[in-house]
Amino acid sequence: MILFQSIGRDRRSRTIATIAACLTLFTAVFLGAWLYGEQGELTHLGLRKLPPDWAHPFGTDWLGRDMFARTLKGLRISLGVGLTAAGCSAVVALLLGLAAATMGRAVDTAITWLVDVAMATPHLVLLILISFACGGGARGVIIAVAASHWPSLTRVIRAEVMQIRSSEYVRLSARLGKRPLYIARHHMLPHVAPQFMIGLLLLFPHAILHAAGLTFLGFGMSPHTPAVGVLLAESMRYLSMGLWWLAVAPGLALVITVKAFDVLGNNVRALFDPRTCRE
Digit-coded pLDDT (tens) for 138-182: 788 888 888 888 888 888 888 888 887 777 777 777 777 777 777
| CB-based contact 219:136 (threshold 8 Å) | yes
DSSP secondary structure code for residue 104 in this structure: -
Q: Provide, rounded to the nearest whole percent, the portion of the chain with pLDDT above 70.
A: 92
The 10 Å CB-count burial string (b at 16+, else e) for 232-253 is bbbbeebeeeebebbbbbbbeb
- pLDDT of amino acid 6: 45
Q: What is the mean pLDDT of residues 62-80?
A: 85
Rounded Cα gap, residues 183 and 174, in angstroms: 8
Q: What is the rounded CA–CA span in Å between residue 81 and residue 211?
A: 7
Q: What is the pLDDT at residue 168?
A: 77
Residue 228: is its pLDDT beyond 70?
yes
CATH topology of domain 2-42+54-277: MetI-like fold (1.10.3720)
Helix spans in 40-185 (H): 67-102, 105-120, 123-133, 137-146, 151-165, 168-175, 180-183
Ramachandran region, residue 61 (left: φ > 0; alpha: ψ -120 to 50; beta: rest): beta
